[in-house]
Amino acid sequence: MGDIAKVNDIELWFEENGDPLNETILLIMGANANCMQWDQEFIDKLVSKNFHVVRFDNRDVGKSTWFGKEPFFNKFLKILPNFLLKMIVNSIFGLAVDDKGKFKFNNSSIQYDLSDMAKDAVSLMDFLNIQKAHIIGASMGGMITQIIALDHPEKVLSITPIMTSPGIQNESLSGPTNDLLDAMKQSFVFNLKGKVENGVVEIYRQLTGSRFPFDEEKFREKLKPVMEHGNNPFSLHGAAVGASPDRSHRLSEINIPTLVIHGTEDAILPIDHGIALANGIKDSKRFIMEGVGHEIPEELFSEIINEIIENISRVS
């Protein structure tokens, strides 16, 4: 299953579900996650509503072209004893986070930004002869979705940004939780020790809200095909997000049916990010998921898809 499109000077792996003659829904996944993170049940439910659904690996993950490579400095870190390694990781994170607990970014050596990734998605649509699509983006994918709506409006019928932000540089919006930052440090140590799956588990444990408690055994089982599809622990997605300007002042330019979906317990992009996004886009609808974190719970698939279909129905 799946195929490779050579577009925008890179290779993108993609997969189509449903009848290509139907209207297309393009799914764009978040940072450091390949497109296998889109649950097949979620896709099947959209196909059952008579849509052609396309998911693809963003650059730097999965089976698409990778840019990020393991830093040389990591080879030195790997040989350190654990107590010293944890001290250095704490120092690294101290430099990466400001006094408000928000991420700081160094944009001097970025290889691409979210505009390049938006062009990837649009180029894939052209490759597949898709004139316009309904675009659903999760997290970083929701940021890319906004950019497509702003800079390539001729390609978009509707958008559904999920658990995302108009810009993490916006000083008025909240930073990640301390528990998540601690989990990211632990994940970094696991990656250095070659225990990448354990690192992913630590992150998602903190990203999961209280309404549907984290089930580690079930999560690890669902993680297997994602990891097998291609996991790049050194992808440059975080740098791309940091290098991309805040979109808050441009949101009023978006005048297509928009549905903003966000959880009230999101640990990395707290609920005020989703509210700011919804407030900035004229006539947008919102679906706030109580007790939900940075996740798309399978228990809410039917509700979420009903909201998406209702938003799509607003397309004139």
pLDDT at residue 103 in the model: 72
Which residues lie closer than 8 Å to 155 by C-beta, 6 or more apart?
Answer: 122, 125, 131, 132, 133, 148
Q: Is 30's pLDDT higher than 90?
A: yes
- Name the percent of the chain lying above pLDDT 70: 90
pTM confidence score: 0.93
Dihedral sign of CA atoms 53, 226, 32, 160 in order: positive
pLDDT at residue 298 in the model: 97
Which residues lie closer than 8 Å to 151 by C-beta, 6 or more apart?
Answer: 115, 118
Q: Per mean pLDDT, which range of 66-75, 129-138, 211-220 is the poorest?
A: 66-75
- Give the pair of three-digit tokens for residue 116: 């390049």
pLDDT confidence tier of residue 274, bands split at 50, 70 and 90: very high
pLDDT at residue 191 in the model: 80
Q: Does 94 or 241 have the greater pLDDT score?
A: 241
Q: Does 62 or 89 have the greater pLDDT score?
A: 62
Q: Per mean pLDDT, which range of 64-73, 196-205, 301-310 is the poorest?
A: 64-73
- Please report the domains of the chain, with CATH numbers, ordered by start residue: 3-66+109-174+236-312 (3.40.50.1820), 73-107+176-230 (no CATH)
- Name the percent of the chain lying above pLDDT 90: 79
pLDDT at residue 194 in the model: 81
- Give the pair of three-digit tokens for residue 35: 């497109």
pLDDT confidence tier of residue 17, bands split at 50, 70 and 90: very high
